[in-house]
Structure 1
Amino acid sequence: MPVPAPNLYPPFNIVRLSHVEYRVRDLAASRAFYIDILGLQVTHEETGRLYLRAMEERGHHCIVLVQADTADVGVLGFKLYDEPDLERAESFFAEKSLPTAWVERPHMGRTLRTRDPWGIPLEFYVRMDRLPPIHQQYRLYNGVKPLRIDHFNMFSADVDASVAFYGEMGFRVTEYTEDDESGRLWAAWMHRKGGVHDVAFTNGLGPRLHHTAFWVPTPLNIIDLLDLMSTTGYVANIERGPGRHGISNAFFLYVRDPDGHRIEIYCSDYQTVDPDLEPIRWSLTDPQRQTLWGAPAPKSWFEEGSTFEGAEPAPSALKAQPIIAP
């Protein structure tokens, strides 16, 4: 199935991805990981809930950690351009018979809560509490020195359908992996903010969240994180990397938090602002698509992910497999 043409005039205007809510079983353990190891900054803390931001971010939070009995994902958040976009978004989802509700969210203005056709919980807003800048307070830099949230990657049981739906909302494909035999999409990377992706979809049991990524200043910050994790009791939390992706050209590292939620540390991708930028096609059997240097990803990277609260994953009908490390 060919990649659909970009929708340059979507029904509402998404600026970028914004935040994720992780439900965790031990908030103290998660606090230590995200603050002391990754280096995110606390913006608000209350019983059972912790709000964090990265160093360049002016919005109140990019991650919310919530104490829960089950470790899963509560919601993925996206920022819209202006207030009328909220009503347009509500109409878009309601016309597709998807649930819509106006919800109260701490530190955020009017917020629309909904789900995509596969049950991924989504929320859209325009205004979030703005905080003073801290990007030049170098004494605060810690861990991997995270600058900003960069993207979500999700397992999808039907990548073609996911790309079509998110394309309706104005996400544009930058790169994709196609199964040579069936012609179906195995994975796709889509953006709003002008990087390689705000969202990506990977074939597999879905919907599940594969990972959330954070942008860091340089590859050396990733090396520093590896040294820190390997000497502070987190060596088993290092899953994959460091390396350079073929897709996106980014330098990467994948780590797991105490509940197994996967976090990618990411830098050095490229600009994709031009509306007529042609997507780059990769073959599923190309060993450089995963890692430019040719190293395949481990089995866990293709099979393990975080479930979404209230969404039941389904298996994919596409059984094609990329190269997997032994």
Structure 2
Amino acid sequence: MNFNIIRAARAVLNVTNLEESRRFYVHALGFIETESDDKHIYLRGLEEHTHHSLVLKKSDEPSVEAISYKVFAEEDLDTLSAFFTEKGYRIKWMGSGSQKAIGRTLRVQDVSGLPLEFFATMDPVDRLLQRYDLYKGAKVQRIDHFNCAVTDVEKAYNFYINELGFACSEYTTADDEKIWAAWLHRKPTVHDVAFMNGVGPRLHHVGFWLSDPMSVIHTCDVLASLGYGSSIERGPGRHGLSNAFFLYLRDPDGHRIELYNGDYLTSDPDFKPVKWDLDDPMRQTFWGHAAPDCWFNEASTVLDIHTGQAVETGDPKLEKKKPTIII
């Protein structure tokens, strides 16, 4: 089957306090608040032409309801539904009236237990790319990727490459040549999703694209001036993998987001994936500074699409060395 999956498109995060989340995402980071009610805040970046790319949903506990991909047409949803059903996965349809601003969606727990969502249509909004009077904080432009911790990266890799039609841009191998981490894409950049070897399934972070590296530096100054200095978890820095300039932040509920700029084009059909050795210190951070332990050990709980309960996690049989990766 051919699945016309376009790109990573939105995340639905459960948060415990909408006002605290608004202060962080809107007032500090500069996301555009498209709409809100007493249970949701719908956010987007300045260049995005659709209603939202991030939903903050009021809940008793922080968690991840869905990570979502846009497909080309409604027919692609039906093709995906038939595929997952044939493979024995339990799917869940959500009608166009059940969620704000988005058409019918297909949800399914993927091969690793992550709550995937696919949709074709979302209400259009004015693109604010040249509304420079609205630029503040990080000046977030658009959603870029998801990064997920799973217990078996090779299984996830094979499923997304061989079944869903993703391509690999970069990957890390251990001494036994087993894939330790992989960066996979549908749009012609380094990744729409990355998988790391670790306790999972969990969402490690959602990445958002910024217009330039100085926006990352400016974000640090803004966060510090607003009292959010402790929200800066890692960076600024440059990854060896992807070559991207990065900053990792934790929101008021502990969800991790990455502010990201500077990767490269992967559209050529003869593009060859870049292989990294697990022991190469320039892989994680090109400049050499180490990530904090929390960056390796902490991630967001994901929910079962049918029960709404937390998905049980597993712990892979790791080597004694500390696991390293991600962007």
Partner of 2:241, secondary structure, is coil
**Mapping 1:1-326, distance limit 5 Å:** 11-104=2-95, 105-167=99-161, 168-180=163-175, 182-310=176-304, 311-319=311-319, 321-322=321-322
Structure 2 distance, partners of 1:323, 1:206, is 13
5+ residue gaps, structure 2: 305-310
List structure 1 segments (4+ residues) > 4 angstroms apart after TM superposition: none
- Contact 1:285/1:323 (<8 A) preserved: no
Partner of 1:248, secondary structure, is helix
- Contact 2:25/2:31 (<8 A) preserved: yes
The C-alpha deviation readout for 1:242-263, integer Å capped at 9, x for no partner, is 1100000000010100011001
What is the TM-score when the length of structure 2 is the normalising length? 0.94
What is the TM-score when the length of structure 1 is the normalising length? 0.94
Structure 2 distance, partners of 1:82, 1:173, is 24
5+ residue gaps, structure 1: 1-9
Structure 1 distance, partners of 2:87, 2:27, is 43
The C-alpha deviation readout for 1:69-97, integer Å capped at 9, x for no partner, is 11010101110011211111001111111
- Contact 2:198/2:323 (<8 A) preserved: no
Q: How many corresponding residue pairs? A: 314
State the 1:101 CA deviation. 2.1
**Which residue type is aligned with residue 309 of structure 1?**
L
Structure 2 distance, partners of 1:118, 1:289, is 25
Partner of 1:131, secondary structure, is coil
The C-alpha deviation readout for 1:284-315, integer Å capped at 9, x for no partner, is 10000001111121111111000101321111
The C-alpha deviation readout for 1:211-257, integer Å capped at 9, x for no partner, is 00111011111111111111211111110001100000000010100
**Which residue type is aligned with residue 316 of structure 1?**
P
What is the Cα-based RMSD across aligned positions, in Å?
1.2
State the 1:156 CA deviation. 0.9
Structure 1 distance, partners of 2:303, 2:125, is 29
Partner of 2:236, secondary structure, is strand
Structure 1 distance, partners of 2:228, 2:127, is 30
Structure 2 distance, partners of 1:49, 1:164, is 35
- Contact 1:284/1:322 (<8 A) preserved: no
State the 1:323 CA deviation. 7.4
Partner of 1:35, secondary structure, is helix
State the 1:320 CA deviation. 5.4
Structure 1 residue aligned with 2:307: none
**Which residue type is aligned with residue 105 of structure 2?**
T
- Contact 1:44/1:52 (<8 A) preserved: yes
Structure 1 distance, partners of 2:63, 2:269, is 35
- Contact 1:179/1:320 (<8 A) preserved: no
- Contact 1:55/1:134 (<8 A) preserved: yes
- Contact 1:285/1:322 (<8 A) preserved: no
